[in-house]
């Protein structure tokens, strides 16, 4: 005997590009997103009895994303994700939860001869701005999580790691100065919004929060005399919570990007270790992975 414990379905990897053209200035703004939608609700019979009458086709979900993008602003992504999620809750009474993820890809305006170009852009990295919105029929609330994903950073000094536990399995030497590099994933959970209108009322806060989180992350990374990735990331979380009062919690995931010294003494006594190290071998793995979540007391 069996029963369906949980179920959700939807459409992922919906690629969307939207351009805004200012008729007065001729300046165009480009936004490219990847959108995913998952729906939950009274859909059990589609699994257990092959009854598709409760299924909103995933092609319909894709079409809805395009139409919502045409009819609504796509920036900030927190608002667009909330608009899409709320649409599914309002339109289909048997759908109780709609989860929408929006990944915004970087298109940065070109500067030509020292002036911003009105319609030319370049991609200056793989970093994305991610948003997850969850709209629920129970309580009619919207939860939002914003994130910086894939921000690759490196500093060539100002990081140490020593005083860690040593036992029979330990070979790692202590270091008082090392290269520190990581690919930052930083997320922040907003206090719950009562409705889509509440999200609209907070629109001015979303870009400001993203800019603050990014600025604080890079400033702390660059300036902190890091005793460990753990301690540096906690300082980042603490500072973001202090600056953004509408955020409930912060989480970081920071994988180590290791750069190892290369011993070149075998070649005519060439010195390239310790204080003489200049040439390093970037490593692809294995690597450390450090994560934490910090919330308000």
Residue 11 falls in the annotated catalytic set: yes
Structure tokens at 162: 């020593």
Cα gap 104→209, rounded to integer Å:
16
Residue 96 falls in the annotated catalytic set: no
Residue 205 falls in the annotated catalytic set: no
Q: How many CB atoms lie within 10 A of CB 30?
A: 15
CA angle, 242 then 238 then 164, to 5°: 170
Pick the catalytic residue from 29, 34, 58, 75. Answer: 58
Pick the catalytic residue from 11, 62, 87, 101. Answer: 11
CA angle, 148 then 154 then 158, to 5°: 120
- The interaxial angle of helices 229-243 and 203-223, nearest 10 deg, is 150
Only one residue has tokens 């301690």, namely 231
Count of residues making up the chain: 297
Cα gap 19→56, rounded to integer Å:
28
Q: Which residues are catalytic?
A: 11, 58, 258
């Amino acid at each position: 005997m069996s029963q369906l414990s949980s179920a959700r379905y939807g459409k992922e990897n919906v690629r969307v590009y939207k351009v805004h053209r200012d008729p007065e200035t001729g300046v165009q703004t480009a936004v490219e997103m990847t959108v995913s939608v998952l729906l939950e609700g009274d859909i059990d019979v589609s699994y257990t009895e092959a009854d598709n009458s409760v299924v909103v086709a995933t092609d319909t979900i894709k079409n809805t994303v395009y139409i919502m993008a045409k009819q609504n602003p796509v920036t900030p992504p927190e608002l667009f994700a909330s608009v899409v999620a709320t649409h599914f809750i309002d339109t289909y009474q048997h759908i109780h939860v709609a989860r929408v993820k929006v990944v915004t890809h970087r298109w940065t305006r070109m500067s030509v001869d020292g002036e911003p170009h009105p319609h030319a852009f370049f991609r200056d990295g793989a970093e994305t701005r991610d948003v997850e919105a969850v709209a629920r029929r129970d309580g009619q609330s919207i939860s939002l999580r914003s994130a910086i994903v894939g921000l690759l950073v490196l500093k060539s000094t100002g990081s140490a790691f020593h005083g860690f536990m040593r036992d029979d399995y330990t070979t790692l030497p202590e270091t008082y100065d090392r290269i520190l590099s990581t690919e930052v994933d930083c997320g922040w959970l907003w206090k719950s919004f009562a409705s889509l209108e509440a999200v609209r009322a907070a629109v001015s806060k979303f870009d400001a929060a993203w800019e603050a989180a990014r600025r604080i992350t890079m400033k702390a990374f660059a300036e902190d005399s890091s005793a460990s990735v753990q301690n540096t990331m906690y300082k980042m979380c603490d500072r973001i919570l202090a600056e953004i009062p509408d955020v409930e919690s912060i989480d970081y995931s920071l994988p180590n990007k290791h750069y190892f010294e290369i011993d070149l003494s075998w070649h005519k006594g060439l010195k390239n270790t310790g204080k003489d190290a200049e040439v390093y071998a970037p490593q692809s793995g294995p690597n450390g992975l450090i994560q934490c979540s910090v919330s308000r007391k």
